[in-house]
Amino acid sequence: MDEPELDAALEACDREPVHIPGAIQPHGALVAMDEQLQEVRQVSANLESILGVAPADALAMTPERMFTRRWLDQIRIQLDSRNRYGALIVSLRSRGRSQRFRLLSYRSGARVVVELEPISGNPERWLFGAMADWQTELSGHTTRDGLLRALTALVRELAGYDRVMIYRFDEDWNGSVVAESLADGADTYLGHHFPASDIPAQVRQLYSIMRVRDIPDASAAAVPLVPASDPADASPLDLSCGILRAVAPIHVTYLANMGVVASMSIALHLDGRLWGLLACHAAARNILSPALRDALRAMVQTTCVQLELVQAREEAALIQRANDSRDVLVDQRGEFPEPEELLASHGKEWLRIFRASGAVLAAGDQSAGVGTVPDAESIDGIVAWLNRHHSGDLAWSSRELGRTELGRFCEPARASGLLAVPLPIRNPRDAWLLFFRSEKAETRIWAGNPEKTLDRQSGRISPRESFASWKEIVRGQSVPWQSAELRAATDLASDLAVLIAAGEISQLNQRLERLATRDHLTGLWNRYRMEEAIDQEVAVAERYGRPCALVMFDIDHFKRFNDTWGHDAGDEVLVTVARTVSTFMRDADLAGRWGGEEFLVLAANTGLEGATRLAERLRAAIAGLEIRDYGSVTASFGVAVYREGDQRRGIVKRADLGLYAAKEGGRNRVEVSAG
């Protein structure tokens, strides 16, 4: 297939209307009504076998007659609920006897859709008792690998699938299997990769709408809607919010080629982004009870919360290591070393913290390097390109420099990855802190050859027929940069800027004075100025016995603003929060940006009770913000008060411990440090 043909086929695949199949799977039934619930517009052709009502009779009924007034009222309540997973358990007459159903209702444009799944027995009774044990078992794991292995084993034990795996997305939406549980004889995919086109963009989007995709029997014929189109609304019925949506033909073929008949996937979202999928496969039909399926979804949600805590602990450890290095820099203020001296003193430690093979500090006509870095001429070319294309205050990173314009300056063995952070100095010279990572060749095992084939007759991508292991050696890439590393490097660069600028105070204009005391984005005091203020207040407290307190807070799930709407949105949130905090503070309070999305408030002549009230007032003010269409903004707060003999680091550390406790306690709350 040539490249234009491939691009056209991939675009067609991304436009595949999987959300409007005009049919459902046969293990349930569907009824579509008008928005006012006054008339039945469409039903699934299998309604009689599920509900005991022929489609023609159902279309002549009123919704109240079909569902009874009681359940119709419950449907109205469900439609107004924010919980899209809150299904009802209803009893309806079917063939002269009472039958229990799981009923899920949702709005689809100007219509209301009701999906019905029959329930036999009472599986909920044992599920309710077992849920607490499962949640406790999962929450006891403190490592990502252990947690994911436990989840796959538990799901396979409960649901009876042959293979349960965790499928994690990378930054390009390729997937890899990072955990797996197998029945005897099942093929393993652990460590295997799948191309992004296996789960195209519109399918990934559906996992943000309905996080469970259950296919009990992919080989079963889809059940069409009757009539095929709504007589009052010709637009196709959108089934994105449902559980019964029919399986796209290309996916049926894909599963058949994999030897899979039954499949279930549950989305794992971390920090508001689709992180991966729990994927379950069986070689035979496997219909789960709705209650068990809901319980599995709840287990996955618990796992996501636990994964966020594991990730937060890892990021906190990285930030702490970086902050310890920054504290050493702070102690050097007044010495004003040159770039060579800075890297000689701290370069090896920075390489360890940022997992880098080399680092360069470039400031105007001066630059110095440590570790494995490009030659001086190449560094000049890199800095010139960064100055032209990334002159803002945000970090820039790549793990694959060979695919960028900077590739001509870098040999992969020496520099395949780059994290570049501008030092906020604009006059008289630009400056950059550069971290390099060397190439890390990767032997990638694909589940089948990832190269696509084209069905010439339909013009569509054809699912591969074999999923046998296919090896590929990927070169020219480094280990990916983590968001926490970008944040820590940005904070370090800010401190370096102050240190370098202070050494040239005789040459700088009024902008330098602001740089030394004010955060360039929010206008609040920067970390350096806040540290001075804390030292002064601690000295007053020690000499005169006057109380003082620190309130440290961090914007919850801040990463989602950058990931979803871009870094400009993240900057807008930071500026708005800073403005709000300034409005609600007392005259004697001082606020500063401590780093990234972390802020600090110094409350002079204030004890624990007053500082806690101040923190709660600020928390409520932030929680009340509405910024464009970004959604709610919340923050977590830690409070610490001066103790006899305290120094700055001690009281700051206790406030940080309180903040961490607030994060672990559920966020959007105030915690007083007990440390």
Percent of the chain's residues with pLDDT above 90: 44
**Residue 369 counted as domain residue:** yes
Tell me, yes or no, whether 164 and 300 share the same domain. Answer: yes
Tell me, yes or no, whether 159 and 211 share the same domain. Answer: yes
109-163 pLDDT, tens digit per residue, is 999 999 999 987 665 666 766 777 777 787 778 889 999 999 999 999 989 999 9
Angle at 585 between CA 584 and CA 590, to 5 degrees: 145
Q: What CATH number corresponds to the domain at position 402?
A: 3.30.450.270
Of 263, 620, 374, 327, residue with least CA distance to 492:
327
Mean pLDDT of 571-589: 90
Tell me, yes or no, whether 353 and 393 share the same domain. Answer: yes
The position carrying tokens 């004889």 is 185
- Domain boundary (265, 284, 312) is at 312
- Which run of H or of E encompasses 302? helix 290-331
pLDDT at 239: 96
Structural domain harbouring 386: 332-440+478-502
Q: Is the pLDDT of residue 431 over 80?
A: yes
Long-range contacts of 455-462 (CB under 8 A, 24+ apart): 459/8, 459/9, 459/12, 460/9, 460/12, 460/13, 460/250, 461/9, 461/10, 461/12, 461/13, 461/197, 461/250, 462/253
Q: Is the pLDDT of residue 505 over 50?
A: no
pLDDT at 507: 41
Tell me, yes or no, whether 366 and 399 share the same domain. Answer: yes
Tell me, yes or no, whether 264 and 378 share the same domain. Answer: no
432-471 pLDDT, tens digit per residue, is 899 999 888 766 676 666 665 545 555 455 566 666 666 6
* pLDDT band (50, 70, 90) for residue 319: confident
Name the residue with higher pLDDT: 195 or 22: 22
**Residue 272 counted as domain residue:** yes
Mean pLDDT of 184-192: 91
239-279 pLDDT, tens digit per residue, is 999 999 999 988 898 899 889 999 999 999 998 899 999 99
Query: What is the DSSP code string of 94-147?
Result: ETTEEEEEEEEEEEETTEEEEEEEEE-S-HHHHHHHHHHHHHHHHHT--SHHHH
Tell me, yes or no, whether 102 and 235 share the same domain. Answer: no
- Domain boundary (119, 151, 169) is at 119
Q: What CATH number corresponds to the domain at position 545?
A: 3.30.70.270
* Nearest-angstrom CA–CA distance, 116 and 519: 56
**Residue 545 counted as domain residue:** yes
Q: Is the pLDDT of residue 513 over 70?
A: no
Q: Over the Cα atoms of the chain, what is R_g? A: 29
pLDDT at 10: 45
Handedness of CA 411, 414, 415, 420 (dihedral sign): negative
pLDDT at 494: 80
Mean pLDDT of 480-495: 84
pLDDT at 84: 59
Tell me, yes or no, whether 293 and 340 share the same domain. Answer: no
Tell me, yes or no, whether 567 and 486 share the same domain. Answer: no
Domain count, the chain: 4
Tell me, yes or no, whether 66 and 83 share the same domain. Answer: yes
pLDDT at 2: 45
**Residue 325 counted as domain residue:** no
Q: What CATH number corresponds to the domain at position 56?
A: 3.30.450.20
pLDDT at 508: 38
Q: What CATH number corresponds to the domain at position 130?
A: 3.30.450.40
Name the residue with higher pLDDT: 632 or 139: 632
* Nearest-angstrom CA–CA distance, 194 and 277: 12
pLDDT at 206: 92
**Residue 337 counted as domain residue:** yes
User: Active-site residues: which are they?
Assistant: 597
pLDDT at 1: 47
pLDDT at 335: 52
Q: In whole numbers, what is the pLDDT of the chain averaged over residues?
A: 85
**Residue 273 counted as domain residue:** yes
**Residue 322 counted as domain residue:** no
| Neighbouring residues of 156: CB distance < 8 A, sequence distance ≥ 6 | 163, 164, 181, 182, 183, 280
* pLDDT band (50, 70, 90) for residue 519: confident
**Residue 509 counted as domain residue:** no
Tell me, yes or no, whether 304 and 172 share the same domain. Answer: yes
Q: Which pair of structure tokens corresponds to residue 78?
A: 């469900």
Tell me, yes or no, whether 348 and 224 share the same domain. Answer: no
pLDDT at 37: 95
Tell me, yes or no, whether 273 and 342 share the same domain. Answer: no
* Nearest-angstrom CA–CA distance, 474 and 529: 47
- Domain boundary (64, 95, 119) is at 119
Least confident of 447-456, 472-481, 618-627: 447-456
Least confident of 89-98, 196-205, 426-435, 490-499: 426-435
What type of residue is 218? Answer: A
